[in-house]
Amino acid sequence: MITLQQKAYAKLNLTLDVLGKRPDGYHEIESVMQLVSLADDLEIDLETGEDWRLECDMPGVPTDGENLAWKAVGLYYKTLGKDPQGVTIRLTKRIPSGAGLGGGSADAAAVLLALNRHEGGALSERQLLKLAAKLGSDVPFCLTGGTQMARGRGEELSKLPAMPDCFFLIVKPGFSVSTPVLYEAIDAEESVLHPNTRAMEAALRKGELLEVAGYLGNSFEPLVSRARPELLAIRAMMEDCGALGVAMTGSGSALFGVFDAFDMAAMGSMKLMEHHQTFLARNLKAEEL
């Protein structure tokens, strides 16, 4: 038996602009994405000689073929034309579900990275990205990380200058949001918030953290905040604690604040953890994967 280990890192959407519905039924987006240090731990046993199993310490996470990590193992070895001779996957979850942090996508990307390393780089990065896109729109970004622009459904990636070093306070309130329902809702909106993506790109090129934080934005956030005003209270608390900028990630429900000092982020976490899940993280560069 062979055991592989890999970190599965969460993502944040520094900007998320929903541009409209496409003929194929998906929505066209433009998003500046950032990998962060909040991570699940993944272990994969190969050649167990037993039926495939998935074990997870977080209730509610699928532990069968519906789990993206399981699907990633199957897709990888189908592509290689090999049989792993029995697989056990163990997931230690720290990335909360239903938060917009890409936890399932992160796990799938971690599987692809771990297996390809074990197989001596049998697939090129381009081939891995094709597999990742089949698994989900956020998986290609979680595979390559750093700071990138995502277009299309999220799978069309282009590298951006690394985000200046900073700290994030991520707050997950006690509710989640249905992504399909939210996309339906945004289609019915007369006026949609469109973040200034070009300004965000320019701020990253300048390496100015204060400017980067000032251009955070998410097309979905006004809709969710209207239905769940507690998000406004979380935002205000983070700003009071010194956040340079605050935004929702993905389709929610997590908000994140950008801080230039760890102690300020930690103070915000202390104030908010009584009523919400809180996580402290830093930005990761692509070479740290």
Known catalytic residues?
11, 138
| Sequence-ordered list of residues with C-beta below 8 angstroms from that of 168, at least 6 positions apart, any chain | 12, 36, 256, 257, 258, 259, 265, 280, 281, 282, 283
Q: What's the rounded Cα separation, in Å, for the pair 271 and 135? A: 37
112 vs 101: CA distance, rounded Å: 19
252 is in an annotated binding site: no
Cβ 145 vs Cβ 132: under 8 Å: no
Looking only at the bridges linking them, the beta strands covering 53-56 and 87-92 are: parallel
Find tokens 């956030």 and name the residue.
221
For residue 150, say whether it is annotated as part of any ligand binding site.
no
Q: Where are the beta strands (DSSP E) in 60-99?
A: 87-92
8 is in an annotated binding site: no
- Helical packing angle, 262-272 and 230-240, nearest 10°: 140
* 72 annotated among ligand-binding-site residues: no
39 annotated to a ligand binding site: no
Instruction: Tell me: is residue 214 an annotated ligand-binding position.
Output: no
105 annotated among ligand-binding-site residues:
yes
- 96 annotated as belonging to a binding site for a ligand: yes
176 is in an annotated binding site: no
191 marked ligand binding residue: no
- 134 Cβ contact partners less than 8 Å away, ≥ 6 residues apart: 75
Q: Binding site for ATP: residue ranges? A: 96-106
Q: Binding site: residue ranges? A: 96-106
